[in-house]
Chain A
Amino acid sequence: MDEKNVRFLFMGYTAAWLIVMIFVIMLVRRGQKISAELMRLRALVENRDQN
Chain B
Amino acid sequence: MRDKVILTLGVLGTLLMAWNLNTISNLPNDALQGYIFRIIFIHVPAAITAQVFYTVALGCCIMFLLRKNFFWDSLAVASIEVGTMLVLVNLVTGSIWGRNQWGVWWAWDLRMTSQLMCFLLYLGYLLLRPAIAEPTQRATMSSIVGIFAYADIPLVDMAIRMPGVRTQHPQPVLETGTLAPIYRGPFGIGIIVLLLIGTALILLRLNQEHAKREIDSLRRQLHAA
Interface residues of B in 29-61 (CB under 8 A from A): 33-36, 38-39, 42-43, 46
Q: Is the CB of A34 within 8 A of B46?
A: no
Interface residues of A in 7-51 (CB under 8 A from B): 8-9, 11-13, 15-16, 19-20, 23-24, 27, 30-31, 34-35, 37-38, 41-42, 44-45, 48
Secondary structure class of chain B's binding surface, majority of residues: helix
* Nearest-neighbor residue (CB-CB) of A8 within chain B: B100
Residues of A near B207 (CB, < 8 A) are 31
A41 in contact with B218 given A8-B100, A12-B43, A20-B89 (CB within 8 Å): yes
B112-120, B153-161, B162-170, B197-205: which lies at the A interface?
B197-205
A19 to B205, CA, bound (A): 17
Residues of B near A20 (CB, < 8 A) are 85, 89, 197
Q: Is the CB of B36 within 8 A of A41?
A: no
A9 in contact with B39 given A1-B34, A34-B212 (CB within 8 Å): yes
**0/1 string, B205-224, CB within 8 A of A gives 1:** 10110011011001101100
Q: Is the CB of A42 within 8 A of B218?
A: yes
Q: How many residues of A contact B (CB 8 A)?
A: 28
Name the contact of B89 in the complex, choosing from A11, A19, A31 (C-beta under 8 A): A19
**B68 lies within 8 A of chain A by Cβ:** no
Name the contact of A37 in the complex, choosing from B34, B38, B88, B215 (C-beta under 8 A): B215
Residues of B near A23 (CB, < 8 A) are 82, 85, 201
Sampled A-B contacts (30; CB under 8 Å) = A2-B35, A4-B100, A5-B33, A8-B96, A8-B100, A9-B35, A9-B38, A12-B39, A12-B92, A12-B93, A12-B96, A12-B97, A15-B89, A15-B92, A15-B93, A16-B89, A19-B92, A23-B85, A24-B201, A27-B201, A27-B204, A27-B205, A34-B208, A34-B211, A34-B215, A35-B211, A38-B211, A41-B219, A44-B222, A45-B218
Please give the residue numbers on chain A whose beta carbons come within 8 Å of chain B beta carbons, in ascending order. 1-2, 4-6, 8-9, 11-13, 15-16, 19-20, 23-24, 27, 30-31, 34-35, 37-38, 41-42, 44-45, 48
Please give the residue numbers on chain B whose beta carbons come within 8 Å of chain A beta carbons, in ascending order. 33-36, 38-39, 42-43, 46, 82, 85, 88-89, 92-93, 96-97, 99-100, 197, 201, 204-205, 207-208, 211-212, 214-215, 218-219, 221-222, 225
